[in-house]
Amino acid sequence: MDLLRASLHKVRIPEPTNRIHKDECCVSFDTPRSDGGLYVDMNSFLAFGRDHVAWNFEKTENPVYLRIVQRRKPDPEEADRPLKKPTLLAIGVEGGFSEQEPEYDVTYEIVVLPEFASLPFPSVDLPEKVRLAVDKVILAESADRKQQLASWVADKKLISAHAMDLQQLDNGVIVPPNGWKCSKCDKTENLWLNLTDGMILCGRKVWDGSGGNNHAVEHYQQTKYPLAVKLGTITADLEGADVYSYPEDDSVEDPLLAQHLSHFGIDFSSLQKTEMTTAERELDHNTNFDWNRIQESGKDAEPLYGPGYTGLVNLGNSCYMASIMQVMFSTHPFISRYFEKQSLKAAFAMSQADPTLDVNMQMTKLAHGILSGKYSKPNQEGQVGIRPRMFKSVIAASHPEFSSMRQQDALDFFLHLIEKVDQANHGDHQSNPFSGFKFIVEHRVQCPSGKVSYNTHSENNLSLSIPLHEATNKEQLEAFHEKKAAMDLDGKEVSSEEIVRPRVPLEACLASFSGEDEVPDFYSTALNSKTTAIKTTGLKTFPDYLVLQMRKFVMGEGWVPKKLDVYIDVPDIIDISHMRSKGVQPGEELLPEGASSGDKVEPARPVANEDIVSHLASMGFNYVRCQKAAINTSNTGVEEAMNWLLSHMDDPDIDDPISQDPTSAESTIDEASVQTLISFGFQEDVARMALKASGGNIERATDWVFNNPDASSSVSADSSASNVKDEDPYITDGSGRYKLMAFVSHMGTSTHCGHYVAHVLKDGRWAIFNDSKVAASVDLPKDMGYLYFFQRISS
C-alpha cells in the first residue's frame, strides 16, 4: 500500500470527487452505486500478489478502491443534432425508431482513501503489482455467474474419445501468443485452434449474422480433424478452456490439453481469458429468454404498495424463501394465524425464553412486516422491502442447506417450513395453518391373482411428471426440429425467439399421476412370491389448498441431468373430482395378511435392486451410494435413483455403510424420533423404515417418506389396512374444484442455482413478487411455473 501511495505522489492527482461514498470502507465487486460506478477494496488483492486472488474484503484504515464507471458514448454525428420525432411505426427505417443500441465507454480509476485521490487506470506510473491486482479485479467473474456455469456444465462435459490418441502433425506451426486471425477471412474473434494441424479458423455463424463464417466447421468436414480449442478461453489452470469435438458434436474434456497446446508452442501459463466459452454463450442464449419472460423484464409494470405488497430483500440466494413466504402469507390460514389473530405483543408474551429462537414469534413478526403495509411505502429509492434475517436464522436453524448462503429448491423449503410449523404447533391442529394443505393419498395395488391391497398416506403436495408425448403443438414442434436440423447442417444457430417448446396441458400431468403404473418385485401374499403388480393412485381427501410441483428436472440422453424446456398450459379453474379414490369395491378380494405358507416373516428392511445398482455403478458412481439411491426410491427405476443420487451427493452420511442386520438397525432407532414422525401422521412401521434408511435423521426420514409413497406396502403385511384415520377431523375434505391463486417460477438450469419469482392473485389482479420488488403483472408467465398453488372453490 505504501508503494502505491508513493507512486501516486509522483503523478498529478485530480481533485477529490464528491461522488464517492466516503462512509463506506468496504463494498463488494458487484454492488452498483448511484453514480453508475463499482467500488472494490483492493487491499486483499495486493496482499496475495498475481497468482492468488482472495475475495476477502476487510475494513481497513486506509483502503484503496477501484472505481469502474460506465457511461454512454455519444455518436459524434449526433452530438449536436436534435432528436427527431418518429413519424412511422417502424424500426431502422427513415422516419421510424432507431434500432441502434447505445454504446458505452468503460473507464477505470483507482481511489485512495482517506484522501479520496483518484488516478486513471491504466497508468505507467503504477507498480506492476498494483497493475496486476487491478487486472484481476476487472477480469474476475461474479460468484453467481460461476455458480450458474457450474450447474450448466455439471456432468455434461465428457472426456473426448479422440483426446487420448489424438494425432498432431509435425508441420512446424507455432501459434503466437496474440494477434490471432482466421486463416481464411478477416475475423479476429470467435477463433478456434484445430489441435491436429494448428489451423486458426473462425467459428459458426449465428442466426443474426454475428459469430464467424463457419470456416472451422468447413475445415473439419474437409479434414476430419476432430478437436479444436477456442482461443481466448485458455487460462493458466486450463480449467475453463473450451474444447469442442466435431464428431461428438459437443463440448468435451481433453485431459492432454497442455501437451496438445505445447505441440504448437503455446505457453498457456501466461494466457488470460478474453472470450466467452461455448457453455457461457449457451447459458446466456438459453436463460435470457426465461429470465426476461418470468421476471417480466422490460415491461412498464406499476409498482404496488400497501398491506400485502411488501417485498423481501434478498439476503444472498434467499429468493426461494422469499417466493414461498409471499405465497404463504397470501393464504387465509397464515393471515389469520399470524396477523389477524396474533399481535406482536401477544406473540412476544407467549414465546419461549428467547423470542429470537421461537418459530411462531418470528412467523408473527414476518407476517406483520409483510401484511401491515408499514414497510411498503413509495420513497425516493423505490421499493425497499424488509430483511428477514432473524426469520431465516430461526427457520433454517441446524439445517445444513437452508442455513447456508447457497440457492435451494423452493419445494424443499416448502416441505421444511411445514415441518418447522408443525413442530411449533405440536398438538394444536386448529392453530396450525398447514392443516388445510394436508390430504390423504390412496394407492390400490392389484397382483396377477386378481386380489388387491389398499394403503394410504398423508401428503402436502402432488409431484407431477410431465408427459411430453401429450403436447398439443406436435406439428409445430416437428416443423421446428426440421428447421433446426437444417440450420445445424449450415452451421447456424436458432434464435431464442424462434424456439418452439412443447405445450403440455395440466390435465395430462394429473392424468399421468392417477394412471396405471407397474410395480416390479411386488411380493404377493396370495402367490407367495414376487411378481409385477398394477398400481393406481387417487386422493381420498381434497385439501383446502392444493400444491402441485412440476417435475421439470429429469435425466436426458447419456444420463445427463437436464431441465425440460416445456410450457404447461394451466387453466384458472381445475376440477379434480374424478381423482377421488373409491376404496374397497364390492366383489374385490383383499390380499391375505401375512405369508400364506405360515413361515416366519423376515423383519422388513430396505433391499436395493441389483439391476438398478449395477446400472448406476457402471456409470462410475460409488457402489454404496448406488445402493442407497435404489433403496431411497423404493427400487422404482434407474432414472428415479439417478435423480435421488444427484440431489444427495453432499449428504454427510452418503458413504456410510448400509447395515444388513435388520435387528441391529432396529436397535439404533431412537424411539423419540419414531414418535416424532408418528406425530406428523406417518404410520409407525413406515416411520421406522424411514429412520433406518436415513440413519436416524428426522429431516431426511421425512423427505424419504415424501419420496417413497409406496413404502407402506413393502413394510407391513397388513396391506389392506388404512394408515390414516378416515375420521381425522383435522384433515379437511370437500369439493374437487380449485382456483389458481399463486405460482412460483424458477429460472436456471438447476433448482440449486438461478432465481425464483412468485406471482400471486391479490385483490382481483396478479402481482409479481421478485424479492424486494412488487408490481402489477403485465404479461403473466403462467405456463412457466414450477410450483402451482390452488385454493378450493366453495360449492
- All structural domains of the chain with their residue ranges: 2-74+102-140, 157-276, 319-436+732-792, 438-459+491-544+581-715
Considering the candidates 202, 319, 509, 753, report the single residue annotated as catalytic. 319
The residue count for the chain: 795
In the 8-state DSSP scheme, what is residue 470?
G
| Grid coordinates given for 546 | 392444493
CB contact set of 460 (below 8 Å; sequence gap of 6+): 414, 415, 418, 434, 437, 438, 439, 547
Can you give the pLDDT at residue 221? 92
CATH topology of domain 319-436+732-792: Cathepsin B; Chain A (3.90.70)
DSSP string for residues in 603-663:
PP-----HHHHHHHHTTT--HHHHHHHHHHTTT--HHHHHHHHHHSTT-TTTTSPPP--HH
Report d(CA 143, CA 273) in Å as an integer: 17
C-alpha cell of residue 140: 474476475
Rounded CA separation 752/746 (Å): 10
- What averages of pLDDT result for each successive group of 10 residues across the chain (795 residues)? 45 34 31 39 36 34 49 43 51 55 72 79 80 76 51 59 92 87 90 94 72 89 93 71 87 88 80 56 51 67 90 88 96 94 87 82 94 83 80 86 83 92 81 92 90 89 92 91 81 75 94 87 82 90 95 65 85 95 88 51 60 81 85 77 79 72 48 63 72 66 63 41 50 93 88 85 94 90 95 84
Total-model pTM: 0.56
- Rounded CA separation 40/18 (Å): 17
* CB atoms near residue 536 (< 10 Å): 15
387 conformational bin, left if phi > 0, alpha if psi -120 to 50, beta if neither: beta
* Nearest CA-CA partner of 154 in 146, 162, 144: 146
- DSSP code string of 90-140: -BSSTTSB--PPPPEEEEEEEEETTTTEEEEES-TTS-HHHHHHHHHHHHP
154 CB-side CA count, 13 A = 19
Quote the cell numbers at residue 730: 383435522
Question: Among candidates 486, 429, 434, which has minimal Cα distance to 459?
Answer: 434
Q: Are strands 439-446 and 529-539 parallel, antiparallel or unpaired?
A: antiparallel
pLDDT of residue 128: 80
Write down the residue that cell numbers 406425530 correspond to.
Answer: 679
Contact 385, 313 (CB under 8 A): yes
**Burial class of residue 42, CB neighbours in 10 A (0-12, 13-18, 19+):** buried
Cα separation of 537 and 729, whole Å?
Answer: 23
Cell of 148: 450458474
Scanning 295-447, the segments in alpha helix (DSSP H) are: 319-328, 332-335, 344-350, 359-371, 389-395, 410-424
Cβ contact 111:18 at 8 Å:
no
pLDDT, residue 743, reads 97
C-beta of residue 215 within 8 angstroms of C-beta of residue 201: yes
Quote the CA–CA distance of 625 and 617 in Å, as a whole number.
9
Give DSSP secondary structure letters for 523-560: EETTTTEEEEEEEEEEESS--SEEEEEE--EEE-GGG-
**Which CATH number applies to 157-276?**
3.30.40.10
Bridge partners (DSSP) of residue 454 are 444
List Cα–Cα distances, 239 to 161, 245, 254, 269, 317, in angstroms.
19, 17, 11, 12, 25
CA proximity to 662, closest of 611, 600, 613: 600
| C-alpha pair distances (Å), 623 with each of 128, 173, 614, 616, 664 | 52, 47, 8, 8, 22
Neighbours of 406 (CB within 10 A): 13
Active site residue 319: yes
Encode 137-158: b = buried (16+ Cβ within 10 Å), e = exposed: beebeeeeeebbbebbbeebbe
pLDDT of 487: 80
